[in-house]
Structure 1
Amino acid sequence: MVLAIRRQVDDPDPTWLKRLGEITAETLVLDGGPRSHIRPGQVAELARRIPRSRTETIPVGHLIHRDAPEAFTTAALTFLRAPQTAGSTDSAVRPAMKEAPAHSQRSTESAK
């Protein structure tokens, strides 16, 4: 990880955190769970500051899209396809899925 980005993750600028409350769109926050290098509580704090956020935990670490592509895709598509709500925050835990969806496997193979 680039050191400049690492410092932002480990010790974010307080102004940045304060401005999260200005986000007006519904927001999906994905949490990689205890295997992630993001300290416990940081993801919850970030989500708490975004007024219309939804948090999902896929406990595979930080690289959710790589390590659990099916769970990542399901979470993202479910969020994007859901009707917009008036805005309470909620959270969910989705079990990690080991294999990519069949369509992703075919895409990868046809790209070779």
Structure 2
Amino acid sequence: MGELFADAAGHAQGIVRAEVRLAFAQMRNELQAVARRLTLQGGAVFFAFAGTIALMIAGALALHLVVAAWLAVLIIGGVTLLMAVVLFGVAGRSSAALTDVDAVLEHAA
């Protein structure tokens, strides 16, 4: 009878170890997928930034046909800073609602 319990305990221990290995493998796969997505998103952000700068330069050159070059660059820079301030304000208001971790976890579940 004792040998039977020892065998059952050994099998249970093997099952638990296998489940832990499986959980680690699943986490590793998920983290690799996240890293892959973040790398691609980082590349997309880089090219979006480069494209935005090119469009800003083109806008300044076009505006230079109407006003002085320094004023054209100043206008483009001012509009860009204004957009940044507005976006930071919107982001600040939306992130303030997410400071309660329990509420976030309840909403995610």
Task: Tell me the TM-score normalised to structure 2 length.
Answer: 0.21
Structure with the largest fraction of strand: 1
Task: Tell me the TM-score normalised to structure 1 length.
Answer: 0.21
Structure with the largest fraction of helix: 2
